[in-house]
Amino acid sequence: MKISRSLQRALLEQLAIRYPARHNDLFKNGDEERENQVVANLLYLEEHGLIESGLRQGLSGEYMYSGAKITARGIDFLEDDGGLSAILGMVTVRFDDATLKAVIAQRIEQSTLSDPEKKRWIDALRTLPADATKHLTMKLLESGLDHAPGAVTAIGKFLGL
């Protein structure tokens, strides 16, 4: 196979050094097999949006090369922290007070408490201010992770580990 992770890394690093300019001399070694491998890897990296390959296929089927250039996405790929893509792609999930209370109330309803106790607990829950609901939610999360025998296994499974 012509696709090589080590070659891709080397190409990205060479292009990053020249950024924002194009790199015009990736094919100077004259080895046709090596050139074919470089072409395949440049096109692969371009398909993933990491570079502009500078390769265009002519009518004869041969590629013309006008110089490759790394993209912002390619630079971020090289960064240990994911670069600006990681910062800009951050997703924040927020639950409002009413949603948290509804989820907790549902668990109370499903519990083995007597109906009068369930009503008392849910009424008390509804009177909590938002900060207290947030604190209760964090305590429930901590308790669930501490007491669920499969919590770490479930986390690993969800993360694909």
Q: State whether 117 and 76 are in the same domain.
A: no
Where in 67-156 does DSSP place strands (E)?
69-70
Residue ending a domain, choose from 88, 108, 133? 88
Q: State whether 74 and 116 are in the same domain.
A: no
If one counts the domains in the chain, the total is 2
Q: State whether 131 and 84 are in the same domain.
A: no
75 near 83, Cβ under 8 Å?
yes
Q: State whether 50 and 19 are in the same domain.
A: yes
Q: State whether 9 and 84 are in the same domain.
A: yes
pLDDT higher than threshold 80 for residue 63: yes
Specify the pLDDT at position 1: 63
Q: State whether 64 and 16 are in the same domain.
A: yes
Residue ending a domain, choose from 88, 111, 139? 88
Q: State whether 9 and 53 are in the same domain.
A: yes
Give the Å distances, CA to CA, from 34 to 2, 18, 89, 114, 150. 9, 21, 36, 76, 51
Q: State whether 14 and 76 are in the same domain.
A: yes
Q: State whether 23 and 70 are in the same domain.
A: yes
Residue ending a domain, choose from 61, 88, 115? 88
Place of tokens 């499969």: 150
Q: State whether 84 and 104 are in the same domain.
A: no
Candidates 35, 38, 68; CA nearest to 53 is 68
pLDDT in tens, 6-35: 999 999 999 999 999 998 887 766 777 888
Specify the pLDDT at position 57: 87
pLDDT in tens, 134-161: 888 888 888 888 877 777 777 777 677 7
Q: What does R_g of the chain's alpha carbons equal in angstroms?
A: 28
Pairwise CA distance, residues 109 & 105, whole Å = 6
Q: Which residues of 49-61 are buried (b: 16+ CB within 10 A; e: fewer)?
A: ebbbbbbeeeeee
Specify the pLDDT at position 135: 87
Per the structure, the complete domain to which residue 117 belongs is given by 97-158
Q: State whether 13 and 82 are in the same domain.
A: yes
pLDDT in tens, 81-100: 878 887 788 888 888 888 88
pLDDT in tens, 100-122: 899 889 989 998 989 999 999 89
